[in-house]
Amino acid sequence: MKEKKEKKEKSNTSPARGMRDILSVDVRRRDYVMSIIKETYQKYGFEPLETPAIENLETLMGKYGDEGNQLIFKILKRGEKLDQELAKFNELTESTELANSEHSENSENSKSSGNSLADLALRYDLTVPLARVAANRSSELPKFYRRYQIQPVWRADKPGRGRFREFYQCDIDAIGSGSMLVETDVFSAVAEVLKNLGFKEFVIKLNHRQVLRGILEAAGIEEARQTDALVALDKLDKIGTDGVVGEMLKRGISEASINKVLELFKKINSLSENAEILDALKDFVGENQFGQLGCKDLGEILGFAKDLPIKIDASLARGLSYYTGAIMEVDVGKEIGSLGGGGRYDGLIGMFGKEQIPACGFSLGLERILVVMEERGMFPPEIAAVNSADVMVTIWNEESVADSLALAQELRAQGLHVLLYPEADKMGKQFKYAGQINVPYVVVQGDDEKAAGMIALKNMQSGEQETVKREDIAKRIKAA
C-alpha cells in the first residue's frame, strides 16, 4: 500500500498519459525539420494557415468514422450549461429506470457517450478544420487556395512506442481544382521536402478510390460490403493473403469474389512497370465507369510526374472515409511504414458549405520523420548541443557583479549566446558548472585583468587559457 502511494506521488510530475515534455535538443530538431518543410512548401505557393486547437464538437463528430469519434478528446461544458446537462442527466436516469427496455437502450447510448456533457473538442486532424475554413471564407479566399499548416493534433489513442496522444501534422492542401496537375504538384512538393531533409530514396505509393471501387464492383462485391473489403485489403502488407481472405469471408464476401480480387493482385505483384499495372487494372475494371475514371486519373498523374518515384499500389486504401479520388502514401523504407499520406477529397468542403469544392492534400507526420532522421543520423551536428550558449561569463566577486553584467551584455550585442553565472560563487565552482553544462568558452575578469582592460578566455574543450583584449573576445570565439 505504501509503495503504491509513493509511486503515485512520483507520477504527479510526469506529463499526462501519451504526452511528452520536449526539451532543448529535441525542440531544436523539431524546429529544424519544420522550418525546412515550411520553406519548401512556400516555394510551391502554399500559404500558412493556423486553426484553433479547440473546435465545436459538432464540427468534428462524424467526419472520421466510428473509431475516430471515439478517439476525439471532448471538452466538458462549463458553468450553467454544465449544471443544466447534469440536471437533465438525472431526469433521464430516473425516467430510464421507470421506462421499459425499448427506450432504455437509447438512453444508455446517450449516457455512455457523454456527448451532451461536452460542447467542444480538440483538433483531430488538419483537413476537417481546413474544410471548415474554406467554407467559412469562400468569398475571401482565392479560387485556387493552397495552404500549409503545421500544428499539433490530439487523439485519445492507446499510447505505444512512437505513438503519442499529441503529435504534429504537416499538411498541404490545394483547393478549387479537379485537375491532376494538382496531385502532381503536391507530389513534387512532398518529394522536395524529403530531398531537402536528406532522404535520398523514397517511394510515393499511388492508388485511387474509384479504381478500388471499380475493382470491387468488377469482382461482384456489392456496395454495402465494399468498405469492409477495403479495410481488409489495406492490411495485405501486414496480414498477408491468407489473413485478407479470412477477414473477407468473415464479413460475408463470397469466395468467388475474393478469388477474383486476389488473382488481380497476384498478377499486379508480378509486374514492375506502372504502365503495365495500369493496363492490368484497366483490363480488370472493364466497362465499370468508376474504375475507368480512376484509371484515367492515374494515367494523367503518371504522365505529368515522370521524374517522381511513383509506384502504383493497388492495395493501398487509406483509412479516412473522406477520400474520393487519388490516394497516396510516401515510404522511405520497408521496415518503417509511411511517413505520410493524402489524397483527393472532393466532397468534404461541401459538408460545411453550400458549394462542392474539389480539393487534394497531403499530410506528413512530424514524429515519424524525427524518429527516422534520428535513427539515420540525418541531423546537422550543430543542433545536437544540449546547451546552445557560446560562452559563460563568470562573476569574480560581489563587487564585480555589475562588471560581469556589462560584459555579458557587450558579448550579446555582438551576437553571441551568453550565459551569465548568477552568483558570486568560488571560481572553481563556477568552472565546474561550466563543465557540467558543456559550454565551449568561459570568460573571467579578475582584478588584474580589469586593471589592464583584458579578459581571461578559457577554451573548455582544449583547456587552453589566453588573455584577450575585451573588444576582441567575441571575434575570438566566433573564429573558433
Nearer to a copy of itself, 43 or 475 (CB): 43
Nearer to a copy of itself, 55 or 331 (CB): 55
269 lines the binding site for a copy of itself (CB under 8 A): no
146, burial (CB in 10 Å: exposed 0-12, middle 13-18, buried 19+):
buried
Instruction: In angstroms, give the least distance from the CB of 169 to a copy of itself.
Output: 14
* Alpha-carbon dihedral 119, 123, 125, 128, rounded to 10 degrees: 50
Q: List the interface residues with a copy of itself, window 119-158 (CB under 8 A).
A: 120, 122, 129, 132-133, 135-137, 142-144, 146-147, 152, 154, 156
Nearest C-alpha neighbor of 260 from the set 220, 208, 314, 209: 220
Q: List the interface residues with a copy of itself, window 451-470 (CB under 8 A).
A: none
C-beta separation of 52 from 123 below 8 A: yes
419 lines the binding site for a copy of itself (CB under 8 A): yes
Nearer to a copy of itself, 249 or 437 (CB): 437
Interface stretch with a copy of itself, choices 210-218, 371-379, 407-415, 455-463 (CB under 8 A): 407-415
Instruction: In angstroms, give the least distance from the CB of 55 to a copy of itself.
Output: 6
263 lines the binding site for a copy of itself (CB under 8 A): no
166 lines the binding site for a copy of itself (CB under 8 A): yes
Side by side, the strands of the sheet bearing 338-344 are 47-48, 146-154, 166-175, 359-365, 338-344, 326-331, 203-208, 310-312
Nearest C-alpha neighbor of 72 from the set 111, 125, 19, 110: 125
Q: List the interface residues with a copy of itself, window 340-369 (CB under 8 A).
A: 352-353
Nearer to a copy of itself, 112 or 272 (CB): 112
172 lines the binding site for a copy of itself (CB under 8 A): no
Nearer to a copy of itself, 91 or 335 (CB): 91
Instruction: In angstroms, give the least distance from the CB of 449 to a copy of itself.
Output: 20
Nearer to a copy of itself, 174 or 245 (CB): 174
Q: Give the three cell numbers for residue 275.
A: 504502365
C-beta separation of 340 from 172 below 8 A: no
* Alpha-carbon dihedral 470, 474, 475, 479, rounded to 10 degrees: 130
Write phi, then psi, for 211 (nearest 5 degrees): -65, -45
Q: List the interface residues with a copy of itself, window 192-221 (CB under 8 A).
A: 192
Q: List the interface residues with a copy of itself, window 365-404 (CB under 8 A).
A: 387-389, 395, 401-402
371, burial (CB in 10 Å: exposed 0-12, middle 13-18, buried 19+):
middle
Nearer to a copy of itself, 314 or 349 (CB): 349
